[in-house]
């Protein structure tokens, strides 16, 4: 195993083991993992039930907290596709993959968007504090520490040959460009779409993006689970 060079802890819950960087320990997800708990267990169980014989896209990866549960639930030849642009989080997620011996996880060190390019990623706030799970792409003059990261579309990183059953995204406000970069996946495979966004205005923004990608009325909001809006293809 390639042990991360940064200080870290190993957490464990019912699904497996997780690499948690010390600088992330005060954040919500790491706290739960260190207590042996599961973050968003209902959402994970929904993804497991919906996967069927298809692949799952789940990201951003953060420390790979969704990986063991989803990986174990996948069909024999199915894959879990994910991505993580933050170097520390990517290394932590990669170590989580190693710790659990996950052979069906395809993890990419990049952000996703509506087109290929390079964008600034906010990794620390104006006080120098790590953003950890709240790391996000910023397109304005946002105070804090930024690093430039590679961006690709989901249609680029997921091969055309893969059937996608579920598309789950929690990428701190960059969901709309990600949806627009997944038009082929959405139109060819009609996956259930799960997006982090409990507020009605955000759900409408997602709906508008899905309408643009697939046509009005193709996807419908079915409800909210653990702060995640769930959209089902209905036509």
111-158 residue pLDDT tens: 999 888 876 766 666 666 665 556 666 666 666 666 677 889 999 999
Q: What is the mean pLDDT of residues 1-5?
A: 87
The DSSP secondary structure of 105-157, one letter per residue, reads: EEEESSEE-SSSEEEEEEEE-TTS-B-GGG-EE--S--SSEEEEEEEE-HHHH
Q: What is the pLDDT of residues 26-37, one digit of tens each?
A: 999 999 999 999
Residue 179, pLDDT above cutoff 60:
yes
Percent of the chain with pLDDT over 70: 88
Which comes out higher in pLDDT, residue 226 or 131? 226
8-233 is a CATH 3.40.50.150 domain: yes
Phi then psi dihedrals of residue 183, to 5 deg: -60, -40
Q: Determine whether 30 is exposed, middle or buried from the number of CB atoms within 10 Å of its CB (0-12, 13-18, 19+).
A: buried
Q: What is the pLDDT of residue 172?
A: 78
- Supply the pTM of this predicted model: 0.91
């Amino acid at each position: 195993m390639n042990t991360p060079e940064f200080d870290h802890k190993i957490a464990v819950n019912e699904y497996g083991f997780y690499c948690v960087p010390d600088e992330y320990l005060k954040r919500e997800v790491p706290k739960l993992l260190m207590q042996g708990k599961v973050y968003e267990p209902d959402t994970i169980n929904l993804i497991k039930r919906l996967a069927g014989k298809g692949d799952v896209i789940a990201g951003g990866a953060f420390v790979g907290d969704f990986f063991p549960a989803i990986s174990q639930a996948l069909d024999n030849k199915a894959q879990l596709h994910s991505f993580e642009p933050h170097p520390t989080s990517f290394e932590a997620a990669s170590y989580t993959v190693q710790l659990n011996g996950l052979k069906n996880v395809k993890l990419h060190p990049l952000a996703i968007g509506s087109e290929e390019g390079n964008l600034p990623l906010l990794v620390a706030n104006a006080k120098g504090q790590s953003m950890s799970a709240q790391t996000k792409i910023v397109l304005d003059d946002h105070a804090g520490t930024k690093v430039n990261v590679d961006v690709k579309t989901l249609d680029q990183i997921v091969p055309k040959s893969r059937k996608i059953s579920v598309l789950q995204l929690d990428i701190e406000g960059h969901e709309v460009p990600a949806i627009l970069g997944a038009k082929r996946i959405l139109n060819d495979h009609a996956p259930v779409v799960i997006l982090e966004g409990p507020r009605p205005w955000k759900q409408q923004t997602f709906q508008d993006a899905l309408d643009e990608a697939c046509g009005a009325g193709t996807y419908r909001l079915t409800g909210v689970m653990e702060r995640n809006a769930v959209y089902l293809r209905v036509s």
